[in-house]
Amino acid sequence: MRHHILSLAILLVLSNVGLAAEATTNDQPAKQPTIPVNADTQKVLDEVNSLNAYQAPKLPLKTETRYANTAPELTPFRHVEPFKRHFLTQMEYTGAGRAIPEPKEVKTVRIGFLGPIYPTVSAATGGRSHEESMGQQMLRGCQIAIEEANAAGGYLARKVPFELMVTNDNGLWGSSGEEIIKMAYKQECWAMLGSIDGANSHIAIRVGLKCEIAMMNSGDTDPTFIETNIPWVFRCISDDRRQCYLLAEYFYRKLNLNRVGIIRASNRYGRFGVREIRDASRRLGKPIPVEMAYSMGTTDFTLQLDRLQAAKVEAVVHWGDATDGAAILNQMRSRGMSHPFFGGDRTLLKEFTDLAKENAEGVVSICPWDPSRQDPKLEAFRKSYREHFQEEPDTYAVHAYDGMNMLIWAIQVAGLNRAKIRDVLAYRTEPWPGISGDISLSAVLDDMGDVFLAKRENGQWKYYARDELNLPPLETAVRSAQTPAN
């Protein structure tokens, strides 16, 4: 008897929820965006604003012929056709969140920030944390974006300011997840930006999936981050996969090297950063002869350099923090190793050249954007950044500024509904005109913008696009759209 009464009560509750959701959808007219949008975005808004709690949008999904715009000869399983290729079709969100009405009273529109901004100690990051300078730059880029948005009127539909809710990413996986929960529920954030550490970012986005909140990443270049295929996750910086492929093509096709050795940090950034170098080398018929890892905090790299020399490598690739790379390069040169030195994008941080000094000359690094590009918006940002913080912005500040502006745009367009904020970003058809360059989101919502090589020449970094390196042009992956049958 009690079982039947309980079942009836549950049915009544579900029925009332459904009726309330339908009433919310049908009784409230769809709001128009407070800023101009193109026809494609307007179609997205018209569709998602017309739904009740039981409906999913019928919007075209991005589909691609080749993942990450990979060169054909670097594509996995290129000699056979696998049973299934992943990450070529956009993931949908088919939940009921679009029927949730906007809150009646809002004093500020909150956006969350998760990043390493002060030191901690954690086994997840290899001991003492080491990414604070990057996290602080990321935070400052977000702060300028919020300040500019508020100067332009804040959240225009309610005429209230945006507010940045700042949380330190301390390297503890459980703690990072708890901070996401705090921002999503206690602080009532409408979207979030962060973080840098690959392991923590993986944990954060899984919690974000459960909280159903859009999460923009501007600092983690781990290729597997976006391969979680979580429909709430976006990344506005090119990952190590595409950057490594360009680097591998450069030293095998341009420099005609045959034996390239690797030295890397033993943390997640080092492990996953060089994986695509290894794969690309093998696919081009020149496998890596030796890969040496070092623990975080190492100061003497004699063992690693001895092994690299014994393997008779022609060049060395380093993947780790800027200070470690500079120490390795200095020790190489002091023992007479004149090998060409290549590095990940952290090589471009000021700490590297400050420590390497004249040894930095000739170093080649990958870069997810072209800092020498001529753009009035970029120059305005640099001027504002210098005035605020008395230093030059680096890549973490620039991409965070772009990512935060993308979130602000989505909130202005979609209103205060998390699912709709996600929708207008996920179904955006035009590249975002960022100060880092055009940000075109792929089927897995990853940045597909151009990547570059940086060379240290005459005490300055010079940036080169693929065509300027005389590398064969990439055949752009064909993109189409398909409407789901739901």
The candidate with the shortest Cα–Cα distance to 138, out of 441, 379, 431, 385, is 385
Same domain, 348 and 411: no
Same domain, 262 and 336: yes
pLDDT at 191 over 70: yes
Same domain, 320 and 405: no
pLDDT at 136 over 50: yes
Same domain, 209 and 109: yes
Same domain, 350 and 249: yes
Domain span at residue 359 reads 241-367
pLDDT (average), residues 211-218: 96
Q: Is residue 423 part of a domain?
A: yes
Residue 171: predicted pLDDT:
61
Condensed to tens digits (0 to 9), the pLDDT of residues 16-40 reads 333 333 333 333 444 667 899 999 9
Q: Is residue 120 part of a domain?
A: yes
Residue pointed to by tokens 């070092």: 294
Q: What is the mean pLDDT of the chain?
A: 89
Predicted TM-score (pTM) of this structure: 0.90
pLDDT (average), residues 194-203: 85
Find residue 234's DSSP bridge partners. 216
Confidence of residue 458 (pLDDT cuts 50, 70, 90): very high
Residue 74: predicted pLDDT:
87
Q: Among 333, 367, 401, where does a domain finish?
A: 367
Q: Is residue 459 part of a domain?
A: no
Please state, for a pLDDT cut of 90, what percent of the chain lies above it.
Answer: 73
CATH code of 128's domain: 3.40.50.2300
Condensed to tens digits (0 to 9), the pLDDT of residues 382-409 reads 999 999 999 999 999 999 999 999 999 9
Same domain, 172 and 186: yes
The candidate with the shortest Cα–Cα distance to 371, out of 431, 470, 452, is 452
Same domain, 356 and 407: no
d(CA 424, CA 40) in angstroms, rounded, equals 10
pLDDT (average), residues 160-187: 86
Same domain, 225 and 147: yes
Residue 34: predicted pLDDT:
81
Q: Is residue 211 part of a domain?
A: yes
Same domain, 253 and 212: no
Confidence of residue 9 (pLDDT cuts 50, 70, 90): very low
Q: Among 367, 386, 407, where does a domain finish?
A: 367
Residue 78: predicted pLDDT:
80
pLDDT at 185 over 60: yes
Q: Is residue 88 part of a domain?
A: no
pLDDT (average), residues 232-248: 95
User: What phi, psi does 231 have (nearest 5°)?
Assistant: -70, -5
Cβ neighbours of residue 178 closer than 8 Å, sequence gap 6 or more: none
Q: Is residue 31 part of a domain?
A: no
Find residue 11's DSSP bridge partners. none
Q: Is residue 46 part of a domain?
A: no
Same domain, 297 and 214: no
Count structural domains, the chain.
2
Same domain, 216 and 256: no
More confident residue, 261 or 121: 261
Same domain, 250 and 201: no
pLDDT at 128 over 90: no
Is 74 within 8 Å of 244 (Cβ atoms)?
no
Condensed to tens digits (0 to 9), the pLDDT of residues 318-358 reads 999 999 999 999 999 999 999 999 999 999 999 999 999 99
Q: Is residue 303 part of a domain?
A: yes
Residue 31: predicted pLDDT:
63
